[in-house]
Amino acid sequence: MSDFKNLKIETEDRISLVTIDRPAVLNALNKETLEDLQEAFQGGLNGQDVAAVILTGSGEKAFVAGADVSELVHLDPLEARSKSIRGQKVFEMIESFPKPVIGAINGYCLGGGCELALACHVRLMAKDAKIGLPEVKLGLIPGYGGTQRLSRLVGKGRAMEMVLSGKSLSAGEAERIGLVNRVVALQNLIPECRELASKILANGPLAVRYSIEVINNGLEMPFDEASRLEATFFALSCATEDSKEGIRSFMEKRKPQFKGK
């Protein structure tokens, strides 16, 4: 995997730990970091030696504390729109990644950091971390998909309150409204993410991939259309060698040996 300026990537047992590594600025997202993320997810993370991704921030203070404000100062409207669209495309790529992406929120998760976490398939959060979209406090709005993903995840009312007030939530509040899946002690955050990834990887890889696709795309469709999409992918899963192996192993009371075929 390529060397990156602002990312560290370590792979063990087919699980890649991707760490955003700009601790001096609380891992703030700048243009280079977004480019690194795009290259990583398009490149090495898509290889056969990686089956799941854990995304976190360097140090104990921040996951990602927001966008790099220094890049916003001199933007004109056209440049700002282009910047927003570029970031949205990177996060859309993470959200639609065919392998599970687990966000390990180890500290401040604000603005662009919250939007990055929202693009992950699952989010675990350290108990002392904070999460929110405070852009209105700078006279801005979220620009990397935050208004849309947040409202789909926690509902319109809660999203309106968070975005319009700019307030940050504690880990407990975030878990209560369904913004994160689970709250854990900081020292257990990465181990629990690895344990969750391992549980997912014990399942049929094609079934996991199809599930990600159906859930993501189905949310954007009317219910009847989404149900037909589910039926189509259920049929595809029934045609795989993995499904035959999974059914046989269940009946024979043994662990399945999935091959991703």
> Which residue in 60, 92, 115, 245 is the catalytic one?
115
* 70 and 196 share one domain: yes
Q: What's the number of domains the chain is made of? A: 2
* 120 and 232 share one domain: no
Give tens-digit pLDDT for 70-106: 888 888 899 999 999 999 999 999 999 999 999 999 9
Q: Is 9 left (phi over 0), alpha (psi -120 to 50) or beta?
A: beta
* 93 and 185 share one domain: yes
* 105 and 78 share one domain: yes
Give tens-digit pLDDT for 45-69: 988 899 999 999 999 899 999 888 8
Residue 245: active-site member: no
Range of the domain at 178: 7-201
* 180 and 216 share one domain: no
Tell me the whole-structure pTM to 2 decimals.
0.93
| Domain assignment of residue 77, yes or no | yes
Across residues 167-194, what is the average pLDDT? Answer: 97
> Which residue in 135, 220, 225, 245 is the catalytic one?
135
* 242 and 116 share one domain: no
Report the CATH number that the domain containing residue 110 is assigned in CATH: 3.90.226.10
* 115 and 135 share one domain: yes
Closest C-alpha among 129, 246, 255 to residue 182 = 129
Give tens-digit pLDDT for 229-246: 999 999 999 999 889 888
Report the CATH number that the domain containing residue 220 is assigned in CATH: 1.10.12.10
The pLDDT score that the predictor gives to residue 70 is 81
Give tens-digit pLDDT for 114-130: 999 999 999 999 999 99
Residue 192: active-site member: no
